[in-house]
């Protein structure tokens, strides 16, 4: 992995685009379309430009590195399940009883020596070029602006290295970084993250906080940066464990933070705890814009780089994205770490259209009443799992969790309102649905029992049911029933929203003989025939305490919220591509999509 571009040409079917493309919208739009195709490939843009600033960059942009499962596995050099087996083995190590057992354990203990990073006093390849403070200019880097309404250009694949005030702990995180000008970046480290905890320490002490941002190098660095490591553990330990060799680190030029010697670009500086600046908006991986908020500002002291650097970036927005494959690896590798808190957990799955923290499916060996509820509370109380909003548990006899159709049928046949838990807890800082920031509703579904007995009393066709509903409320526009062969068919309706959905749901109570599970979405920007994006919309848009009712049928309000719902925060917009950019890219043969593709993935707004 010393030369990532060469490696991707040999191992990843790298697509090379030599045509000059703008870092504002054009390059991100190409990558955004590519990652949604069936045979997604990594892309190297060799001639990035910035038309607005009249800049031609002298370094290429590399995107979509984690383009598919096969390539992700090659990056890890093994299947993520094999990494998990190694972690599981370590967690189960017991003290040796005798001399022979000690000898048998030696290979395991020796291999652990490779986990710890090695620090060198020499300069690394990432420091071949050193730019002094007075010459620092972020405009020399091809930093992307992904979405039309973004607050500016953002570094999206930055490895952010920080350390605690006393220097005893170091952290690697993946945070977006907004370019304000030639030498300042906005640090979007959310309140729950380790870097934010370190920032609190410096703020209390009244000291400036050193920060080093690295870009490029081994793609595994960026995966480690988003891995849910326990608090206080340096993510480079995980790198050493996966690679089977020590991470090679060098000291930053202007501070004591160590970074991998083979990254392409290093941005060093400090954060003044007294200075905050508005960061955003930014079209994030939820598929919505995160709104403007004040965040710390990094003042840059120096930039170092290789002689011929490559600028790595990613694109975020509506799924699927390359975080689908990064998340898949994370999901498999961290399964053994979940089992100590939930010993009878067999497997779990976080669908990418659930945006990971919005939906988790768990398979368990159910041993007693309330066992699934115990798991729900365990998940909601530990580490990054505490941000999960909706958790559904099934028994060990359930189908594969990633078999979307089979597992949905299985759950619907076991869905019982008496086994639905609605509570409150911590939520991700990017979540936009709760009535207050950082705290919101949680939904837990226990589908571990046998099939329920009661089905829909009087099944009728979509057309007949829609007529009955429209007689009750003319703002109901469309209706489609999914999984009608199960005990709890999904009745999906679209509405012209002019009132709280509680009013519509109350009117529909008289149709309870025809409905077991009602789901409501806005007509605007939702296609009733696209279940993948409908799942994305609904789990993104609900706060369980406010938007779910259980009697006389289960009703889920997946509409956008407003003052009609007693929601007084700002509701963010979707991430939409710019039509003129898509049209231009299509005309030049740089993308190949049709209207069906555009609608399937919600690329453009529609009525």
* CATH of residue 251: 2.30.110.10
Using the predicted structure, report yes or no on whether residue 103 has a pLDDT greater than 60.
Answer: no
Q: Is 593 within 8 Å of 582 (Cβ atoms)?
A: yes
563-573 pLDDT per residue, tens = 999 999 999 99
Domain with 474 in it: what CATH number?
3.40.1670.10
User: Does residue 107 sit in the same domain as residue 224?
Assistant: yes
User: Does residue 554 sit in the same domain as residue 599?
Assistant: no
d(CA 225, CA 235): 7
User: Which pLDDT score is estimated for 106?
Assistant: 55
Whole-Å CA distances, 223 to 90, 444, 566: 21, 29, 39
322: in domain? no
- For residue 574, which phi and psi values (nearest 5 degrees)? -70, 160
Owning domain of residue 112: 67-313
171: in domain? yes
User: Does residue 303 sit in the same domain as residue 356?
Assistant: no
Q: Is 487 within 8 Å of 533 (Cβ atoms)?
A: no
Residue that is last in its domain, among 382, 417, 447: 447
Crossing angle of helices 236-243 and 80-91, rounded to 10°: 110
Q: Is 162 within 8 Å of 259 (Cβ atoms)?
A: no
Using the predicted structure, report yes or no on whether residue 102 has a pLDDT greater than 60.
Answer: no
User: Which pLDDT score is estimated for 20?
Assistant: 97
Of 89-103, 241-255, 473-487, 542-556, the range with the lowest mean pLDDT is: 89-103
60: in domain? no
Q: Which two tokens stand for residue 487?
A: 């005990």
33: in domain? no
Q: Coil, strand, or helix at residue 143?
A: coil
410: in domain? yes
User: Which pLDDT score is estimated for 521?
Assistant: 98
* Mean pLDDT score, 164-178: 90
β-pair type (43-45, 15-17): parallel
User: Does residue 403 sit in the same domain as residue 483?
Assistant: no
Q: Is 74 within 8 Å of 36 (Cβ atoms)?
A: no
Return the half-sphere exposure (C-beta side, CA atoms, 13 A cut-off) of residue 73: 9
* Other Cβ atoms within 10 Å of 105 Cβ, number: 14
Using the predicted structure, report yes or no on whether residue 94 has a pLDDT greater than 70.
Answer: no
User: Does residue 513 sit in the same domain as residue 416?
Assistant: no
Crossing angle of helices 80-91 and 99-112, rounded to 10°: 130
User: Does residue 341 sit in the same domain as residue 395?
Assistant: yes
Q: Which of 73, 76, 84 is nearest to 333 (CA)?
A: 84
Q: Which two tokens stand for residue 100?
A: 């022979």
Return the half-sphere exposure (C-beta side, CA atoms, 13 A cut-off) of residue 580: 4
Residue that is last in its domain, among 422, 447, 472: 447
Report residue 395's pLDDT band, with 50, 70 and 90 as the boundaries: very high
41: in domain? no
User: Does residue 159 sit in the same domain as residue 307?
Assistant: yes
User: Which pLDDT score is estimated for 104?
Assistant: 59
User: Which pLDDT score is estimated for 109?
Assistant: 55
d(CA 423, CA 433): 15
Return the half-sphere exposure (C-beta side, CA atoms, 13 A cut-off) of residue 557: 23
User: Does residue 402 sit in the same domain as residue 277?
Assistant: no
- Whole-model pTM over 0.85: yes
Average predicted confidence (pLDDT) for the chain: 92
| Domains of the chain: total | 4
* Mean pLDDT score, 339-343: 83
User: Which pLDDT score is estimated for 116?
Assistant: 85
User: Does residue 303 sit in the same domain as residue 386?
Assistant: no
User: Does residue 219 sit in the same domain as residue 347?
Assistant: no
Distance of CA 365 to the CA centre of its chain: 28
13: in domain? no
- For residue 156, which phi and psi values (nearest 5 degrees)? -110, -10
Q: Is 217 within 8 Å of 260 (Cβ atoms)?
A: yes
User: Does residue 556 sit in the same domain as residue 582?
Assistant: no
* Mean pLDDT score, 139-150: 97
User: Does residue 493 sit in the same domain as residue 582?
Assistant: no
416: in domain? yes
């Amino acid at each position: 992995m010393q030369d990532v571009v060469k490696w991707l040409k040999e191992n990843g079917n790298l697509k090379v685009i030599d045509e000059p493309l703008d870092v504002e919208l054009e390059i991100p739009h190409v990558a955004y379309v590519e990652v949604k195709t069936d045979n997604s490939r990594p892309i190297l843009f060799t001639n990035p430009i910035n038309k607005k600033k009249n800049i031609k960059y002298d370094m290429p942009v590399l995107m979509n590195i984690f383009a598919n499962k096969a390539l992700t596995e090659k990056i890890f050099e093994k299947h993520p399940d094999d990494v998990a087996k190694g972690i599981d083995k370590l967690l189960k190590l017991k003290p040796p009883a005798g001399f022979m057992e000690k000898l048998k354990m030696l290979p395991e203990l020796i291999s652990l020596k490779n986990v710890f990073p090695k620090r060198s006093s020499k300069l690394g390849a990432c420091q071949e070029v050193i730019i002094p403070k007075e010459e620092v200019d972020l405009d020399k880097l091809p930093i992307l602006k992904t979405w039309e309404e973004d607050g500016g250009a953002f570094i999206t694949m930055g490895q952010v290295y920080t350390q605690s005030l006393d220097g005893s702990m170091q952290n690697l995180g993946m945070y977006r970084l907004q370019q304000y000008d030639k030498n300042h970046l906005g640090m979007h480290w959310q309140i729950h993250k380790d870097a934010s905890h370190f920032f609190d320490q410096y703020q209390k002490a009244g000291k400036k906080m050193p920060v080093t941002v690295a870009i490029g190098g081994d793609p595994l660095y960026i995966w480690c940066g988003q891995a849910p490591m326990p608090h206080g553990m340096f993510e480079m330990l995980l790198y050493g464990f996966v690679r089977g060799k020590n991470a090679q680190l060098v000291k930053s030029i202007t501070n004591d933070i160590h970074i991998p010697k083979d990254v392409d670009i290093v941005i060093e500086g400090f954060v003044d705890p007294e200075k905050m600046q508005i960061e955003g908006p930014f079209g994030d991986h939820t598929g919505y814009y995160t709104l403007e908020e004040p965040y710390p500002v990094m003042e840059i002291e120096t930039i170092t780089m290789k002689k011929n650097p490559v600028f790595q970036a990613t694109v975020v927005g509506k799924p699927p994205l390359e975080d689908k494959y990064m998340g898949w690896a994370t999901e498999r590798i961290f399964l053994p770490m979940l089992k100590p808190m939930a010993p009878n957990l067999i497997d779990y799955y976080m669908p990418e259209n659930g945006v990971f923290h919005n939906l988790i499916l768990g398979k368990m060996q159910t041993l007693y009443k309330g066992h699934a509820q115990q798991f729900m509370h365990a998940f909601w109380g530990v580490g990054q799992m505490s941000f999960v909003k909706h958790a559904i548990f099934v028994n060990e006899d359930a189908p594969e969790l990633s078999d979307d159709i089979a597992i949905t049928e299985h759950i619907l046949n076991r869905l019982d309102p008496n086994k639905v838990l609605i509570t409150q807890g911590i939520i991700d800082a990017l979540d936009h649905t709760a009535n207050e920031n950082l705290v919101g509703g949680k939904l837990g579904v226990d589908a571990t029992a046998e099939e329920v007995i009661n089905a829909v009393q009087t099944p009728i066709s979509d057309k007949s049911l829609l007529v009955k509903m429209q007689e009750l409320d003319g703002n109901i526009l469309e209706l489609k029933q999914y999984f009608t062969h199960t005990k709890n068919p999904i009745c999906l309706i679209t509405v012209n929203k002019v009132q709280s959905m509680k009013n519509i749901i109350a009117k529909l109570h008289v149709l309870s003989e025809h409905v077991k599970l009602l789901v409501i979405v806005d007509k605007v920007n939702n296609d009733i025939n696209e279940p993948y994006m409908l799942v994305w919309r609904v789990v993104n848009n609900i706060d369980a305490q406010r938007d779910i009712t259980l009697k006389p049928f289960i009703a889920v309000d997946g509409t956008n919220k407003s003052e009609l719902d007693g929601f007084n925060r700002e509701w963010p917009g979707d991430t939409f591509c710019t039509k003129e950019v898509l049209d231009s890219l299509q005309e030049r043969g740089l993308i190949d999509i049709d209207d069906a593709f555009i609608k399937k993935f919600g690329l453009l707004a529609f009525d």
